[in-house]
Amino acid sequence: MNFKFRKSASYMACLMIGTSILVSCNDEMANVISPEEEIQNQIKPEYVTLSFNVSADDAASRTSYEKSGTTIIAKWTNDDCIYVGTPAAELTGAVSINSENSGFTRLENPTISNDGKTATFSGTVAVTTGSKIMAFYCKEPKMLEVTSSGVKMNFELAQSVSEINDLSQYDLMSATADYTNETESINLNFVHECAILKVNATGIEAGANVSKLELTLPDGAGFYNAVTIGTDGNRTYGEIENTFSVQLNGAVATDGKLGAYCMVVTDGISAATNLGIKAIVNKTSGDYTYTNTMGVSSNIQKGKFYYTKERAMTLDKSIKELNGYKVIDNVDKFKTIASDASSNYILTRNLDFTGIDFTPIPTFSGTFEGAENTLSNITLNITDGNGGIFAVNEGTIQNLTVKGATVTKESVFGSNSNGLGVIVGTNAKSIKGCTVINSAIKVKITDEGNIGLIAGFNKGTGSVTECTVEGSSSVKTMEGTNYKSCIGGLIGKSLGSVKYSFVKSCDISYDYLATDATGANIGGLIGQLNTSIKGCYAKTTIYANTKGCTIGGLLGAYFITTSTPPTLEGCYAIGNITLSTNSDGNSLAGLIGNNTGTGSRNINYCYTSVDTQGKGSSIYNKNNNSGCTPTECYYMIDAFYNTIGEKATTTELQAKLSTFNSVDLENYEFVAGTGDEPLIIQKKQQ
């Protein structure tokens, strides 16, 4: 409806008479709305069919153009469209310009002049008498955000392209015109809102997928991240940033060359200005950054093309710092830790080691912050001594996940204090919040050693807290030893603190048939423990084809010689233990295979549902008591002999929930479970 202000005199007279009667009926009425105000309050945008004669004489970077000498003449095409309207007054937030409620109409199918320099778009648009009509040309409308006060051109949203040499990705023009209700045809002369800078780089690894291009201006200059055109036609510029990025979505550098457009609005780029340039290559093994500087030949102005000469890029191997940590963002940088093993590091992305040779970091004494990132597919072949990603840890390793690792060893350990693990061989300080997933240790040794997926050996000064093993992780000893190896899903041997750590799934097998074999200490969580632990569990399948082993669902051996009794509390084990027909002389039980040593110990609030195939299902074996005092300890499967603890069903253990929660597990607690896991340890819910 085309609403106009011209009204008949009789209408206005009647309206005035009616108003007089209304006022006389109530002399005390306040804030009386006049007829003119009442009409004005009803004014809303009208839907009017208009035609727009468009040109782009000042927009030399149009995708369709012809070059005449030094002049570039913009040309319109049948594929072009424009957005015309005024921002909807009722908008409460930002919407895309092509949203139905934005107040803008998309006009298509232009009539183009013979020379292509002008075109006419027609359609019904929402306009308000006396307001500015706003028009935009944009192949990628995602960069245009409409609010009730204007249209924001967000150049950060624009810098994400699928075709790095497609100039249309950057083609953004605008125009404004005054509207009166007598208007039927409007002329719009579009201007380009930015400068188009094309960067040409060479020397990038052939076939590399370049994820991002970054331009950095010298101090005192900057890029505008956004420009807003208000409903009055005035412009407001956003924040100035020193660095501007173009997201290239994995563009491939052909023959080591890369050309990419950048859409820039800026102050301070003058002739001979040097810009820093980075091309960031994403590979599964990390982020690799190529750097150089480039200059411009003249002052950069909007509406113009600017090309840079080719710049040979150089791979940046430096390690930047972030809040006091050296940043590790690719495999090559990770390898350099060995040469500076006392510094602090932070992993900023996932790294894949597929097909990459890696040698363990010998002794690490700094802090390695994994930041919840993952190292994948590491292969370690250990020849002697300690083995693991970190052979010896004398610092802090935390919040790191290792997935798909394979560790093999076919030689001597050389000392019963050496360890073999995925993350750490021997731990002398702190491992916290680390996880091993779908990884394997394969060992063929002829002497005593300590083997576990988080750490082989946890020394008395070491601590392992909130660590997890899961997936189809496994420890397989292809040939054992005539000494006492210690093998565990989490840790081989531990003399130090272990808390709130879980083996969620792991297969352990031990195959050694020598006639002089004395077996190994094998535990679903820890092969041999010499101290206290709290709030841990293991879900494992253990197989032994030898004799003389001590095997437990949680601990293989609990070895105590101290006068102060340690405590094992708030723990449980699930799974099964299977011995071959060739095995004899083994000591096994659902929780602890053997209590050894001269010291006493306490076992509190523990249970086991481990199936030992009728060969010792209980908390531990009575004939290996060694001063052990159990409190509130339960087994769920009938014992074969000498039971320790009480038999309990799933329902009976669930009824013990409050009893088990009398243990101080800090930020952890037991909750009710089902089946062979009637009580579950988990973090307290906030």
Tens-digit pLDDT profile for residues 586-611: 788 889 988 888 888 899 999 999 99
Instruction: Check residue 309 and report its DSSP letter.
Output: P
Rounded mean pLDDT of 97-111? 94
Q: What is the Cα 642 distance to its own chain's centre? A: 51
- Write down the pLDDT at residue 219: 76
The type of residue at 60 is A
Residue 582 predicted with pLDDT over 80? no
Q: What are the residues facing 458 on neighbouring strands? A: 427, 494
Q: Which amino acid is at 109?
A: N
pLDDT of residue 164: 67
Q: How many other C-beta atoms can be found within 10 angstroms of the C-beta atom of residue 478?
A: 14
Element (H, E) at 352: strand 351-352
Q: Determine the average pLDDT of the residues in 3-29.
A: 36
Which pairing describes strands 95-96 and 144-147: parallel, antiparallel, or unpaired?
antiparallel
- Quote the pLDDT of residue 587: 80
pLDDT at residue number 29: 42
107-116: average pLDDT: 91
468 - beta bridge partners?
A: 435, 502
pLDDT band at 23 (very low <50, low <70, confident <90, very high): very low
Mean pLDDT along residues 292-304: 80
- The pair of structure tokens assigned to 495 is 């003399």
pLDDT confidence tier of residue 686, bands split at 50, 70 and 90: confident
Check residue 61 and give its pLDDT.
56
Q: For residue 641, is pLDDT > 60?
A: no
The pLDDT of 563-567, averaged and rounded, is 89
pLDDT of residue 406: 96
Q: Which domains does the chain have, with CATH numbers?
A: 9-41 (no CATH), 46-192 (2.60.40), 195-316 (2.60.40), 326-485 (no CATH)
Instruction: Tell me the pTM.
Output: 0.79
Alpha-carbon distance of 147 to 152, in angstroms, equals 8
Q: In this prediction, what percent of the chain has a pLDDT beyond 70?
A: 84
Most confident of 4-18, 271-285, 394-408, 640-654: 394-408
Rounded average pLDDT over 299-310: 79
Distances (CA, A) of 410 to 14, 45, 227, 385, 516: 106, 82, 65, 11, 20
CB 617, CB 640: distance < 8 Å = yes
CA-CA distances (angstroms) from residue 390 to 286, 337, 341, 386, 529?
A: 19, 10, 10, 9, 22
Determine the pLDDT at residue 30.
45
Q: Is the predicted pLDDT of residue 76 greater than 60, yes or no? A: yes
Task: Over range 122-144, report the average pLDDT.
Answer: 86
Across the range 148-167, mean pLDDT stands at: 78
What pLDDT shows up at residue 586?
74
Q: Token pair for residue 310?
A: 């080719």
Alpha helices in 399-493 (DSSP H): none
pLDDT in tens, 608-619: 999 987 766 667
Q: What's the rounded mean pLDDT across residues 361-375?
A: 98
Mean residue pLDDT across the chain: 84
Count, residues in the chain:
686
Q: At residue 314, what are phi and psi to the nearest 5 degrees?
A: -120, 135
Percent of the chain's residues with pLDDT above 90: 49
Pick 432 or 298 by higher pLDDT.
432
Q: How many CB atoms lie within 10 A of CB 236?
A: 12
> What's the pLDDT at 622?
59
Is pLDDT at 81 greater than 80 in this prediction? yes
Q: Which pLDDT band, with edges at 50, 70 and 90, does 472 fall under?
A: confident
